Structures are given as structure tokens and as C-alpha cells.
Amino acid sequence: MHCSRGLEREGFLIDKAFLGGGVYSLRFETKELLPEILPGQFFMLGPHRWKSDPFLLRPFAVVDWSENDVEFLVKVVGRGTKDIVSCERGTPFRLRGPLGNGVFTAARGRSLALVAGGIGVAPLLCAWKFHSDVVSSFVFGVSNGDWAGVADWASSKVSGLTVASDDGSLGYKGTAPDVLKKEGDLIDEIWACGPVPMLKAVYGAFGGKSLIMASLESRMGCGIGGCHSCTVKTQRGMLKVCHDGPVFDLSEVFLDELI
């Protein structure tokens, strides 16, 4: 399902929670009912006051939603995200979406594992909500203890979440792919989202044995395929993360070309 700019709506920030490490959970309420949102889809959003500087809305994957509210996970990485998380409750926002293909669709009778790294846990939490009955494991990898608040927040949404950290300060010591390897060759399908090194590690361990669907993270200007700022090289040519993705079969993506 692809959505145009015409599906921009007004929303109001109704809840904001600081989770540590520059990461926030933000929830918005909309005046009109939201359409069905598929796991893997995202919104472009920004305060209504943004007119010229900043100008571009920022992309965020959907964590959770109901008929007239939607939740996102935001990590402060620059001026735009810093301004977004500084907004007070009640601030009006522009919400453009849902955007993207949302092809995280579970095949019955297959073993399915979710593997997330850092802020990449967001779309997989949405996937868990809809497909928890067929998920055999959900592994969340982080760098260090700064992510403790995010890990606790994610654990409150997912029963049996496995946490791993590079330095061993949270959960298992090691990366999320390291933990997933312990399941051996029993995984038919993997859904992943996280930093490029993590995606490469997942593909290196399971490529050719498991179907790996990955939600790619990318800078975006428009979110609807017009600006070509989020193109990636694939077996099918140059594709746009916002319009053709963000979920791709990882075997089609030239991983060495990702940044």
C-alpha cells in the first residue's frame, strides 16, 4: 500500500517518555481515524511550526497504533530530532503516512525470528503485535547499558524478548546475530532491522538458508519517492527505500553499497 502526500493529517503529541541514551517514545493522537497500518510502514512527521528551517519532515517507523493514535521511537541524532523531542504535550504535528510497502507478512507453518539492533527495534515491535503467534524468538541487540531503558520498554511490549549487548552490560554478551546463531538451522524466516553491520552479520550467518526480510534505515527527504535521496542498489536496479521499501528481501540488496 503506497500513500501520497494527500494522506497528511494533523496530530497532537499526547505522550512523551524519555527512555535514556537520547531515545524517546512519542505517541500522537489524530482527529480523524487512521487507515490500516501494516508492520514495516512509517510516517514522515514534524511540528506544525516547521515552515522553512527546519523544512523537511523526518521519517519514523510505526511502533504501535490504534484507530486514532500512533506511537514512534525517536533517537536524537541531529537538530530536527532534537526539536521534535523537545516539544511539549499538546503540540500540533504534521503526520504524513502511512508510507512504504509494509511486507512483513508471516507465512503460517514456518519458524520466524525477529532480530533488531538499536532504534531498529521499532518496526519489529509493530510486527510482533500482529504476528506474535508465529514468532519463535525476538532478539534485541544494543551496544551498552545506555540502552537499558529502551530494553525495559521493549520488554514490556514483548513477552520473552532476548536482549544482547556488545559489552555484556545488558542480557547476553555479544551481538543479536550471535544469539540467533544458537538456534542453528531451525529458522525458516528472519525479519531484521538495525545498523548495516548487523544486517551484514545476519546475512552472513543465515543467507541462503533462511529468507531474510529487512527494513532498511535511510535518510529521506520526501518519503514518497520524489527526491531520490534514499536509493539503494539491488538486483532489480536502483530502488527507493521510501517507495519500494523500506522492507526488502536482503538477498536482493547489495549490502556493500549500503551506508
Known binding positions for FAD? 80-81
Look up residue 207 and give its DSSP letter.
B
At 238 the three-state DSSP class reads strand
Report the C-alpha gap between 191 and 122 in whole angstroms: 12
Beta bridge partners of residue 113, listed in sequence order: 137, 190
Q: Are 100 and 136 in contact (CB under 8 A)?
A: no
Residues placed in the known binding site for [2Fe-2S] cluster: 222, 227, 230, 242
Residues 6+ apart with CB under 8 A from 129: 39, 64, 157
Closest alpha carbon to 40 in 95, 109, 84, 97 = 97
Q: Are 164 and 176 in contact (CB under 8 A)?
A: yes
Residues placed in the known binding site: 80-81, 222, 227, 230, 242
Closest alpha carbon to 60 in 79, 47, 76, 41 = 41
Residues 6+ apart with CB under 8 A from 159: 132
Handedness of CA 2, 45, 258, 178 (dihedral sign): negative
